[in-house]
Amino acid sequence: MGETEDFSNSHVLEKPDARQNTQREMSAEIQAISAGYGKSVNAGGAVLTQPRLDYPPYRSSILRHPTKSLHHADPETIELFSPAFGHQDVNPLESDLTIVHAGEPQGERIVVAGKVLDGDGRPVAGQLVEIWQANAAGRYIHKRDQHPAPIDPNFTGVGRCITGADGSYSFTTIKPGAYPWKNHLNAWRPAHIHFSLFGSEFTQRIVTQMYFPGDQLFPLDPIYQSIVDQHARDRLVATYNHELTSPEWALGYNWDIVLTGSKRTWTENEALGVEGDDHE
């Protein structure tokens, strides 16, 4: 294509915003914060396993940053207005995201399985686990997602299940694609699946993200990097498990979720807002 290339039909392509930072500038910010954290730990400072409320490279975290002390909500009032999820409402078929529509979704079929554990490694049974994710092309079914990638008519990207007596859960789904977002110029999120867990009451809900091993976008992503401790970040990355892989059917990934203690899985802070609401 030469200089006469016509973009008139490319209505979905937006002009880059000159005020936006480049990935190079963003990576420099990420590395400076990481180096500062490393120095602090080496000097005997605290190991930070949870995301920083104020992480400037994640631009919108500044807008969500609390300016006042956190206020503890009254669970009695909240429960009056919250949806109730009963065990009997969850159909076992809802853990298979590939059978929701008449046809097979496009992409790489995967099984994601693991256990929900407490800080002492004991299984947490009867937990409602919900997931949501982009399709294989990196597109969510969501009106705010204008990424010019195809919607898959056979993939909604939402599923749920209840953990078994041994704390186990298992989902069959499609490996999600990476997708762009508008944090900075050429910003791409690593492939991930959003997870939500409910405790014994609605106010105990926790939300987090699971990533796939070896993703080249890890060093570039301000959301992943907002967890400044490498060990805490590693706990969000699933492990490929060939034992879980079924011949000629699906690749298997293991990912355990630890609710408390020093090996606790990182979760999104309510004060930051639920990141997944923006499908970032």
Interacting residues toward Fe ion by CB under 5 A: 279
Please report how close the Cβ of residue 129 comes to Fe ion at its closest, in angstroms: 17
Q: How far apart are CA 96 and CA 171, in angstroms?
A: 6
Q: How far apart are CA 34 and CA 119, in angstroms?
A: 27
Please report how close the Cβ of residue 176 comes to Fe ion at its closest, in angstroms: 8
Q: How far apart are CA 91 and CA 245, in angstroms?
A: 24
Q: Which of 207, 190, 223, 232 is nearest to 131 (CA)?
A: 207
* Active-site residue, 179 included: yes
Asked if 188 and 147 touch (Cβ cutoff 8 Å), the reply is no
Q: How far apart are CA 44 and CA 270, in angstroms?
A: 29
- Nearer to Fe ion by Cβ, of 117 and 207: the residue is 207
Q: How far apart are CA 179 and CA 33, in angstroms?
A: 25
Please report how close the Cβ of residue 175 comes to Fe ion at its closest, in angstroms: 14
- Nearer to Fe ion by Cβ, of 25 and 108: the residue is 108
Instruction: Tell me which residue has its CB nearest to Fe ion.
Output: 279
Beta-ladder partners of 112 = 171, 253
Q: How far apart are CA 184 and CA 225, in angstroms?
A: 15
Please report how close the Cβ of residue 192 comes to Fe ion at its closest, in angstroms: 6
* Active-site residue, 169 included: no
Among 37, 169, 179, 224, which one carries the catalytic annotation?
Answer: 179
Among 192, 233, 235, 279, which one carries the catalytic annotation?
Answer: 192
* Active-site residue, 189 included: yes
* Active-site residue, 192 included: yes
* Active-site residue, 194 included: yes
Among 147, 160, 184, 194, which one carries the catalytic annotation?
Answer: 194
- Nearer to Fe ion by Cβ, of 97 and 117: the residue is 97
Among 160, 184, 189, 233, which one carries the catalytic annotation?
Answer: 189
Q: Which residues contact 122 (CB under 8 A, 6 or more apart)?
A: 167
- Nearer to Fe ion by Cβ, of 169 and 224: the residue is 224
Give the residue numbers marked as catalytic: 140, 179, 189, 192, 194
